[in-house]
């Protein structure tokens, strides 16, 4: 079945689409009430984030726009030390979209929400003129303990900088799909719930966490250095990169420091906690390649120490980079 403008009319076709696709996969007691808003249990301190997903293609090696939308939203909550609890799901669908493809995306989104421990509590569907595109907007809500204060202004001289795994996978997977390049590179889109939860429970002193998405590792580190008025020095040899991604980047002239991800985090912790934090991440799902990659120093900006001992300044990504990566 092809999606038509009638499916966005608010009438019978809309109800059928909601029942056959969205309610079927997102079913839960809160959503099934089909009220104008969801009333849910809360917390004294909450984290809220919203994001829109327009990636092309919508299906790619290692994931799809549905899984990506949950991972991106959940990970944003986790970076503040929140326990992700609720998520919303709004779809903008261009007429001509295939209903089987739509259901595949919704099913994937539901499965990823279950993996991440969040409940889809409300949503919306709009159908517009177009040529079959599918776009998703999500809002996530998480609960934060009163004592938790994980922010980008917390970096201190002497802190260690950790990355939870290989960088550049998602960027390379999306670009490969668009260019028709056959390889084994898969997107790293993943919910990082387990590793964050274990670090918090272990009492790791997390000064800051940030997920490494658009703009790549170099952009994220620059944002942190600027927020805390410090310098971050990174050892290039310690940055984990899959060999196939490294070769892909070299052939196309891409800078690994500016290649995006959708399932990696940077954690900044006191040096005394760094090795323990790495061990926890490595024993968690999606964290087997975690590494300590650098140190916080006095000064400003981000410096990369090369394998031969040289130093180069890493700047924020300038320009468009790879558009519609998420």
Residues 6+ apart with CB under 8 A from 28: 119, 120, 121
Residue with tokens 């949503």: 123
pLDDT on residue 55: 94
- What is the DSSP secondary-structure string of 167-223? SSHHHHHHHHHHHT---S--------HHHHHHHHHTT----EEEE--TTHHHHHHHH
> 275 is written with which tokens?
């090795």
In angstroms, rounded to a whole number, what is the distance separating the alpha carbons of residues 248 and 172? 7
CA dihedral angle for residue 119, residue 121, residue 126, residue 132, rounded to 10 degrees? 10
> Token pair 């949950």 is at which residue?
70
**Which are the contacts of 111, defined by CB distance < 8 A and separation ≥ 6?**
67
> 261: which residues sit within 8 A by CB, 6+ positions away?
167, 168, 169, 170, 171, 188, 211, 212, 213, 216, 217
Burial of 233 (0-12, 13-18, 19+ CB in 10 A): buried
Domain locations in the chain as residue ranges: 5-143, 160-314
pLDDT for residue 40: 80
Length of the chain: 326
- CA torsion 286-101-181-220 (nearest 10°) is -40
End-to-end Cα, the chain, rounded Å = 26
CATH number given to 160-314: 3.90.650.10
Which residues have a Cβ under 8 Å from the Cβ of 50 and sit 6 or more positions away? Answer: 73, 137, 138, 139, 140
Question: Tens place of pLDDT for every residue, the chain, 326 residues?
Answer: 888 877 865 667 777 888 889 889 989 898 888 766 678 888 788 999 999 999 999 999 999 999 999 999 999 999 999 999 999 999 999 999 999 999 999 999 999 999 999 999 999 999 999 999 999 999 999 999 999 999 999 999 999 999 999 999 999 999 999 999 999 999 999 999 999 999 999 999 999 999 999 889 999 999 999 999 999 999 999 999 999 999 999 999 999 999 999 999 999 999 999 999 999 999 999 999 999 999 999 999 999 999 999 999 999 887 666 667 88
Q: Are the C-beta atoms of residues 174 and 234 closer than 8 Å to each other?
A: no
Report pLDDT for 46: 93
Q: Quick one: pLDDT at residue 323?
A: 64
**Third-level CATH fold of 5-143:** 60s Ribosomal Protein L30; Chain: A; (3.30.1330)
Query: In terms of Cα–Cα distance, which of 153, 150, 152, 325 is closest to 254?
Result: 325
Phi, psi for residue 116 in degrees, rounded to 5: -85, -10
């Amino acid at each position: 079945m092809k999606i038509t403008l009638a499916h966005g009319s608010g009438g019978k076709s809309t109800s059928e689409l909601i029942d056959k696709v969205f309610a079927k996969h997102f079913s839960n007691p809160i959503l099934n009430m089909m009220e104008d808003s969801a009333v849910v249990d809360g917390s004294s301190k909450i984290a809220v984030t919203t994001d829109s997903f327009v990636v092309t293609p919508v299906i790619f090696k290692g994931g799809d726009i549905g899984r990506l939308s949950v991972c991106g939203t959940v990970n944003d909550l986790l970076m503040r030390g929140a326990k992700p609890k609720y998520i919303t799901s709004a779809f903008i669908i261009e007429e001509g979209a295939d209903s089987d493809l739509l259901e595949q995306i919704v099913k994937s989104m539901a499965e990823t929400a279950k993996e991440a421990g969040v409940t889809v509590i409300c949503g919306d569907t709009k159908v517009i003129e177009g040529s079959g595109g599918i776009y998703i907007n999500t809002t996530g809500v998480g609960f934060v303990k009163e004592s938790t204060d994980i922010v980008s202004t917390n970096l201190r001289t002497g802190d260690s900088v950790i990355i939870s795994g290989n960088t550049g996978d998602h960027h390379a997977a999306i670009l490969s799909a668009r260019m028709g390049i056959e390889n084994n590179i898969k997107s790293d889109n993943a919910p990082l719930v387990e590793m964050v939860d274990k670090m918090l429970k272990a009492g790791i002193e997390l000064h800051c966490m940030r997920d490494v998405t658009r703009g790549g590792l170099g952009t994220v580190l620059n944002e942190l250095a600027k927020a805390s008025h410090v310098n971050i020095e990174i050892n290039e040899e310690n940055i984990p990169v899959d060999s196939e991604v490294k070769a892909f980047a070299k052939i196309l002239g891409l800078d690994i420091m500016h290649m995006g991800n959708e399932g990696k985090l940077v954690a900044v912790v006191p040096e005394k906690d760094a090795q323990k934090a790495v061990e926890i991440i490595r024993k968690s799902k999606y964290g087997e390649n975690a590494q300590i990659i650098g140190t916080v120093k006095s000064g400003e900006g981000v410096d990369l120490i090369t394998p031969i001992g040289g130093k180069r300044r890493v700047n924020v990504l300038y320009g468009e980079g790879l558009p519609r990566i998420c």
